[in-house]
Amino acid sequence: MSEQTQKVPLLINGELIPSKTQQWLAVTNPADQQVIAQVPLATSQEVEDAISSAKAAFETWKDVPVGDRARLMLRYQALLKEHHDELARLLAQETGKTFADAKGDVWRGIEVVEHACNIASLSMGEILENVANKIDCYSITQPLGVCVGITPFNFPAMIPLWMFPMAIACGNTFVLKPSEQDPLTPMRLAALFKEAGAPDGLLQIVHGGKEVVNQLLTHKDTPAISFVGSVAVGEHIYRTGTDHLKRVQAFAGAKNHMVVMPDASKNQVINAIAGASVGAAGQRCMAISVVVLVGETKHWVGEMRDALAKVKPGVWDDPEAGYGPLINPQAKQRVLNLIQEGKDAGATCLLDGSNFEVAGYPDGNWVGPTLFTDVTRDMSIYQQEIFGPVLIVLEVDTLEQAINLINENPYGNGTSIYTSSGAVARKYQHEIKVGQVGINVPVPVPLPMFSFTGWRKSFYGDQHAYGKQAVKFYTETKTITARWFEDDIDTGVNTTIELK
């Protein structure tokens, strides 16, 4: 790593601050291992400074009228759209995503900012007149204070944008700890937020790993923690945060199944499965990683293999590329180990992406599309989230068997069913214990007027991301019971809690 490589600053109180730490990590291009930047593991004092700055800014921001908060989001949305391509280029280079997919990552974040523009109607309370004699009752929502966001590598635009715009629109201030693997996109998002007119201190960014996270998680001045990442870390975040009496939402890993019924359109299924399993090299929490073939659809496996094999890998600016490299060599090795474990356990590897190269990029973290059949549920390739372009085929005879098998899997992030029967789809949506269901839609990520609602091991907490639930997560409700006296009539002393 040369001394000239750009050093990613921290963002504290509106200023870009060079970290004083001695500990730096390389941010690399996943296609060739070139070092793009160095990211600091912030010192404990720097984390403290970020929290204090957010705390001080909250004292003013919490009283800023809702229309002004909404107008900040309107300006931010316009700027993000103006810089959409530029953000996507930056994002593609640090993640390895294709340009089109990187644009999608940014776009799904812009949609949440659009949602945050509606903060006035989203945060309205309730009122009921005459709950007792001449007494009215009403509720209002108020912000919490300094909210914290800890985000994963796989959506460096969308996931930070799930968090800070909604939190700040609600009147909070924010400290973001982005993934240390791709911090440049979040820094650019923050710069545009400032350009949109965000007052200093509304958004801070600190970089680092578990020490920084643990400091944010246990600090007395951080009442709410939003986390997205792996299950192991998500469980730790939820346990530690709630032990410290904080409000926590932790979105975690997944194993998403697609059920294919014999009455489904074969072409639709084959295209959907190829895109949903191999897209983003399988590094999506909503990627389809298991296809459950019901009845005669087991004969569609050959065509599935051909469709997967055709998806072309490539670097971000190759317009023909369907997906890029994995994020880092360790992630690649982990996927290769799991593929080997599948083979050793006796699964049939119909398409093997283990020894995969892309011309001109010999050092890229490439894994090709991989397809396993003859998989049993005790195998690690079924038990674990692989987070690579690996698809597992399971065969069952009936819809009931498919539903039971999915409900027995510990994860509950996303699922989809392909069928032409409304009754089958209705039964599936009702009985499946998964938070996001697609009906002839392979990757059913909800738009922000709804919430992103993972279940079971894929989510710890109760209020989910964006939609109306984000407003509940980022605010307290206060309920007021009010009486205004019309005259001086003495109503006497009431010693009960009953309102009269």
Catalytic residues: 285
Q: Is 250 in the site for ligand NAD (CB under 6 A)?
A: no
Residue type, 265: S
Report the interhelical angle of 99-116 vs 66-82 (nearest 10°): 170
Pairing relation of β-strands 370-373 and 35-40?
Answer: unpaired
Residue 159 near residue 183 (C-beta atoms within 8 A):
no
At its nearest, how many Å lie between ligand NAD and the CB of residue 466?
A: 11
Cα separations in angstroms, 168 against 119, 173, 277, 496: 10, 6, 35, 41
Which string of x and - marks every residue 267-306 that binds ligand NAD (by CB under 6 A)?
A: ------------------x---------------------
User: Max Cα separation, the chain?
Assistant: 90
- Closest to 109 in 3D by CA, of 192, 44, 49: 192
Q: Which residue is nearest to ligand NAD (CB)?
A: 229
Residue 305 near residue 273 (C-beta atoms within 8 A):
no
Return the range that interacts with ligand NAD (CB under 6 A); candidates 99-107, 117-125, 174-182, 469-477. Answer: 174-182
Return the range that interacts with ligand NAD (CB under 6 A); candidates 249-257, 261-269, 272-280, 346-354. Answer: 249-257
| SS3 assignment, position 343 | helix
Expressed in angstroms, the distance from the first to the final Cα of the chain is: 74
Q: Is 47 in the site for ligand NAD (CB under 6 A)?
A: no
Among residues 189, 252, 260, 291, which is the contact residue for ligand NAD, using CB under 6 A? Answer: 252
Binders of ligand NAD among residues 207 to 226 (CB under 6 A) are 209-210, 213
Return the range that interacts with ligand NAD (CB under 6 A); candidates 145-153, 316-324, 430-438, 472-480. Answer: 145-153
Question: How crowded is residue 217: how many other Cβ atoms within 10 Å of its Cβ?
Answer: 24
Among residues 458, 463, 469, 475, which is the contact residue for ligand NAD, using CB under 6 A? Answer: 458
Among residues 105, 111, 114, 385, which is the contact residue for ligand NAD, using CB under 6 A? Answer: 385
Among residues 253, 342, 364, 467, which is the contact residue for ligand NAD, using CB under 6 A? Answer: 253
Q: Is 399 in the site for ligand NAD (CB under 6 A)?
A: no
Count of residues touching ligand NAD (by CB under 6 A):
27
Q: Which residues contact 424 (CB under 8 A, 6 or more apart)?
A: 261, 263, 399, 417
Q: How far is CA 429 from the centre of its chain?
A: 23
Q: Is 87 in the site for ligand NAD (CB under 6 A)?
A: no
Return the range that interacts with ligand NAD (CB under 6 A); candidates 8-16, 72-80, 132-140, 151-159. Answer: 151-159
Among residues 24, 153, 366, 460, which is the contact residue for ligand NAD, using CB under 6 A? Answer: 153
Residue 320 near residue 312 (C-beta atoms within 8 A):
yes
Among residues 40, 96, 152, 389, which is the contact residue for ligand NAD, using CB under 6 A? Answer: 152
Q: Which residues of 119-138 are buried (b: 16+ CB within 10 A; e: fewer)?
A: beebbeeeeeeeeeeeeebe
Return the range that interacts with ligand NAD (CB under 6 A); candidates 172-180, 270-278, 332-340, 475-483. Answer: 172-180
Binding residues for ligand NAD (CB under 6 A): 150-155, 177, 179-180, 209-210, 213, 228-230, 233, 236, 251-254, 285, 385, 387, 413, 454, 458
